[in-house]
Amino acid sequence: MNHVMVVDLGYGDAGKGTVVDWLCATRPVHTVIRFNGGAQAAHNVVLRDGRHHTFAQFGAGTFRPGVRTHLSRHVVVDPLALAAEADHLASVGVPDALDRLTVDGEALLATPYHRAANRARELARGADRHGSCGLGVGEAVAYGLAHPDSAPRVADCRAPALLRRRLAALRDRLTAELGPLDAPPVDDCLPAFTGFADRVAIVDRSHLAGVLRAGTCVFEGAQGVLLDEWHGFHPYTTWSTTTFANAEGLLAEAGLAGTAERLGVLRIATTRHGPGPLVTEDPTLPLTDPHNATNPWQGRFRFGHFDAVAHRYALAVAGGVDGLALTHLDLADRGLRICHRYDTTDRLDPGPPGDLDRQAALTARLLAARPVYDTAAPPADWPTAVEEELSTPVVLTSRSPTADGKGVRKGTLLTPFV
C-alpha cells in the first residue's frame, strides 16, 4: 500500500485538484490529507456530467463516495469558509462532506480578524502589493508565530470561554497595531466557531497514524513550490511550506517514512496569479482560464511559456519527484514554447531555508531576466520534451479537466492503477 503526495512545481494552479480527483477515481483511496495552506487554496474539479467545485479546505477527492478528508495541524482552518464550501458541495450532490471530515485540534484558526488585518496590510502596500488572496491565512500564521501560546486553534472551539479570551486578545492586538478592523464583535463570531466544533470531528495528532494504516491516502498540497515561504521568490510568496516536507514529516511521525510516491504537477504553460516574477510571461498568448479570473486581491492571472529553468529549481527545492503529471495538453496548439535558459543563467540554485535576503535578491534577478528559446516552434511531443528538460518521467497526462481526460504513460509508477 503506497500513499501518494501531490505537489505543484510551479506558482500554483497547475491542476492538483483534478489530479487528486483522478487518483481517487482510479484506486480505493481512504482519505485525502491536506498538509499546508488553508482556505485560499482553489483546486478545481469538473465531473463528466458538468458538476464543478473549487476545493479549498475539503480534499479534491470529495466527489468520490466514501473518500474522507483530514486537515492536518499544518493547515490553517477557516470554519466560516468551510461551512460555505460544504453548502456548495451539498448543492452539487455531495451532502455528507462534513461527515467525512476530521480536523487536527492543533491547527491554527483563521478568523474574521485575521482576514480584516490581512486586507488592511495589503491595501496599505498600494502599488507594491504581494498578491495576497485576502483571506487571512498568512496573518494567522504570523500571529501564531508571534503568540504561539495564545493563538486561536481548532481545539479551542470546544472551550467557548477560552476561545472568547483568545479572540478578544487577537482583536485587541491587531486593532492596536492597525486601527479599527472591519470585523464583527467577538460575541457575534463565537457561535460559528462553537457550532463548527459541534458538527466536525476534532482529533489529536495521533489520529492520523490510524488513518494512514487504514488504507491508501493521497496527500494534497496547496499553492506551488515556487511560492514556498522559504524557497519562493520573496516577498511574492505564501506563508506556507509548499514542498513535500510537511507530508514527509507526518508520515515519519506515524512510523511510515518512505511509504509515499512523490507526484509533481505542471502545466504546459507556466502561470501565475498576481504580481511577482514570471520570466516567460507573454501577453500575446491566446490563453484564458475560466476558473482563474482577475480578482481584487490577487490581481491578474498571467500566462507564460513553459519555464524549464524555474521548474528545475522547483524540483531541486522539493528534493525531486518520482513522476510528473503534465496538464493542459489540450493547449498544445496555442504556440507555447519551452524556455531552456534565461539571458543571464540556465540554472537557479536553492539556498538554505530562512535566508529571505537571499531570496529577495533572487527575485530582483528574475524580474530583470529575459527568456531564451532555442526554437520558435512548439514541441511536437510535449511529454517527451518535458521529460528531457527536467530529467524526470512524465507518468500522467491531462487533456481536459475531467478524470476521463487523463492518461497514464505505460511503464510508469501509475500503470498498475488503470
Section 185-211 average pLDDT:
96
Using pLDDT thresholds of 50, 70 and 90, give the confidence band for residue 341.
Answer: very high
One-letter amino acid identity for 83? Answer: A
User: What's the mean per-residue pLDDT of the chain?
Assistant: 93
Residues 243 and 358 placed together within one structural domain of the fold: yes
Residue 229, pLDDT above cutoff 80: yes
On whether residue 104 sits in a domain, the answer given is no
Cell numbers for 221, please give them: 498540497
Predicted local distance difference test score (pLDDT) of residue 121: 84
Active site residue 357: no
Q: Check which CATH number belongs to the domain holding 144 and give it.
A: 1.10.300.10
Cell numbers for 302, please give them: 498571467
Which of 184, 200, 216 is the endpoint of a domain? 200
Give residue 151's domain range. 112-200
State the catalytic residue, choosing from 3, 8, 21, 43.
43
Section 172-186 average pLDDT:
93
Tens-place pLDDT, residues 3-44 = 999 999 999 999 999 999 999 999 999 999 999 999 888 999
Residues 151 and 294 placed together within one structural domain of the fold: no
Residue 410, pLDDT above cutoff 90: no
Using pLDDT thresholds of 50, 70 and 90, give the confidence band for residue 160.
Answer: very high
Residues 346 and 403 placed together within one structural domain of the fold: yes
Residue whose entry in the numeric block shows the C-alpha cell 511531443: 381
Section 278-307 average pLDDT:
85
Residue 118's closest CA among 133, 140, 131, 134?
134
Residue 416, pLDDT above cutoff 60: no
Section 65-82 average pLDDT:
97
Active site residue 43: yes
Q: Please state which of the ranges 126-135, 147-156, 311-320 shows the lowest mean pLDDT.
A: 126-135
- Taking the C-alpha atoms of residue 251 and residue 418, their distance in angstroms, rounded to an integer, is 26
Which of 151, 180, 200 is the endpoint of a domain? 200
Residues 191 and 238 placed together within one structural domain of the fold: no
Task: Tell me the torsion sign for CA atoms 150, 156, 159, 165.
Answer: positive
Using pLDDT thresholds of 50, 70 and 90, give the confidence band for residue 273.
Answer: confident
- Taking the C-alpha atoms of residue 154 and residue 202, their distance in angstroms, rounded to an integer, is 8
State the catalytic residue, choosing from 13, 78, 307, 322.
13
pTM confidence score: 0.94
Percentage of the chain with pLDDT > 90? 84
Which of 175, 200, 225 is the endpoint of a domain? 200
On whether residue 97 sits in a domain, the answer given is no
Section 151-179 average pLDDT:
96
Residues 242 and 127 placed together within one structural domain of the fold: no
Predicted local distance difference test score (pLDDT) of residue 274: 85
One-letter amino acid identity for 129? Answer: R
Contact present, 290 and 284 (Cβ < 8 Å): no
Residue 63, pLDDT above cutoff 90: yes
**Number of folded domains in the chain?**
2
Q: Is 397 helix (H, G, I), strand (E, B) or coil?
A: strand
Q: Check which CATH number belongs to the domain holding 244 and give it.
A: 3.40.440.10
Residues 222 and 357 placed together within one structural domain of the fold: yes
